[in-house]
Structure 1
Amino acid sequence: MLKTVNRVLLTLAGLVLLCLGGAVLAAGLNLSVPSWWPWSGPHDVLLSTARRTKWRGDSWWWPVVIAALAVIVLLALWWLLAQLRRARLSEVLVDSRDGDGARLRGRAVENVLAAEAESLPGVDRAAVRLTGRRTSPSARIGMALSAHSEPVSTLSGLTTGALAHARESAGLAELPAEVRLRAVKHRARRVS
């Protein structure tokens, strides 16, 4: 849905800017423009002095301008944050072999995967996020490893344990995963 909204908004903004820019460029180059167009030659200004100062003395003008600009800034920030946020999978579709299928909550699968990953030896914390489509999800797993852990055995245990259990229980042919390992920061021990 977000991709569709982005494409529609960007297309509309691009068309409006292209039309306005082309019309102003045509007027600036003294080409023929429609009779209703407000700028007809290279010496016309976009806003005359009378238009710029028309409502300056009214008490409602500046609050309306500031409110409109604040709304535009808030909408732009909301759109930017929506771009940066990765889509989290809300449900996973499980083939129950009866024609209907069942739905697992995405958060439930994430919590179970994280709990099983944290139970592995040497894993201090684990965070899981499901992305993709509900019929073919993929997992992004971040694990914080303690100082005594072995990354190879931890990754092997995650692959054969938690990921295999999640894949089998959801009836998925595959469950691709991106795993990021990092070490837990700890203080140096003093030797006396």
Structure 2
Amino acid sequence: MLRTVNRVLLALLGLGLFALGGGVLLGALDLQRHWDFGMPGWWPFRGPDDVVLGAWGRTRWRDEGWWWPTVIAALAVLLALLLWWLLAQRRHRLDNVLVDSEDGVPTRLNGRTLEKVIEEEAEALEGVSRAHVRLTGRRTAPAARVRLLLEPHADPTGTLGRLTGETLAHARDSAGLDRLPAKVRLREARHRAARTA
């Protein structure tokens, strides 16, 4: 769905910019006179000396009471739409993963369940205080984003090796995936010093 919305919005934006740029180019190169064709009466670019927005166009509604509230409201709506579009680009959590059940019919595995299993197995590793896993990507080719909170005494290299060689390998094999790429972020847990009396 998001991919379709992105393509439609980018196509409309591209067509609009292409039409506007072509119109400005027609006027700037004076192609209407050279090729002997006319433009509609409302078209602002008639020759190389025309500007995109003349003085009359810039000041026409300045004294009207509705002008500035309308401009501000339109810009606020545009900003809200652009922020929504930007936030929609974030990779969302996979609802389910398609698993090959070897009978010709793919089976759906709940993505949250697989995340939970990976988290629990990662938290069982020595030196891991807490784990958070999020599955992204496509249902047929998921990827994992793993965040580990390590105890101060943990060995980051050994923990990372066991996570990739055991925990993620178990998840990949149990889901019947060919590969399960992962981005792992390690952070050290900070403990407050205890005050003794």
Q: TM-score range by the shorter chain?
A: 0.7 to 0.9
Task: Give the letter aligned to residue 5 of structure 1.
Answer: V
Q: Distance in 2 between matches of 1:167 and 1:120?
A: 18
Match of 2:84 among 78, 83, 88: 78
Q: CA deviation at 1:74?
A: 0.8
- 1:182 corresponds in structure 2 to 187
Aligned with 1:173: secondary structure? coil
Distance 1:175 1:52, change over 3 A: closer
Distance 1:112 1:50, change over 3 A: same
TM-score (normalised: structure 1): 0.79
Alignment pair present for 1:102 and 2:107: yes
Q: Distance in 2 between matches of 1:29 and 1:166?
A: 63
Aligned with 1:129: secondary structure? strand
Distance 1:45 1:161, change over 3 A: closer
Alignment pair present for 1:38 and 2:44: yes
* Identity in percent: 60
Alignment of 1:74-153 (within 5 A): 74-83=80-89, 85-153=90-158
Q: Distance in 2 between matches of 1:180 and 1:49?
A: 56
Q: CA deviation at 1:162?
A: 2.4
Q: Distance in 2 between matches of 1:51 and 1:57?
A: 13
Q: CA deviation at 1:75?
A: 0.9
Task: Give the letter aligned to residue 25 of structure 2.
Answer: L
Q: Distance in 2 between matches of 1:158 and 1:133?
A: 22
- 1:62 corresponds in structure 2 to 68
Task: Give the letter aligned to residue 21 of structure 1.
Answer: G
Distance 1:28 1:121, change over 3 A: same
Aligned with 1:87: secondary structure? coil
- 2:20 corresponds in structure 1 to 20
Q: Distance in 2 between matches of 1:104 and 1:140?
A: 18
Residues 46-104 of structure 1 show CA distances to partners (whole Å, capped at 9, x for unaligned) of 44555545544554433332221111111111122223x12322211122344433212
When the two structures are aligned, how many residues end up with a matched partner? 189
Aligned with 1:180: secondary structure? strand
Q: CA deviation at 1:114?
A: 1.1
Q: Distance in 1 between matches of 2:182 and 2:50?
A: 60
Segments of 5+ residues of structure 1 without an aligned counterpart are: none
Q: Distance in 2 between matches of 1:50 and 1:135?
A: 58
Residues 89-147 of structure 1 show CA distances to partners (whole Å, capped at 9, x for unaligned) of 22111223444332122122112211221121110121111122212322121212111
Aligned with 1:88: secondary structure? coil
Q: CA deviation at 1:41?
A: 2.1
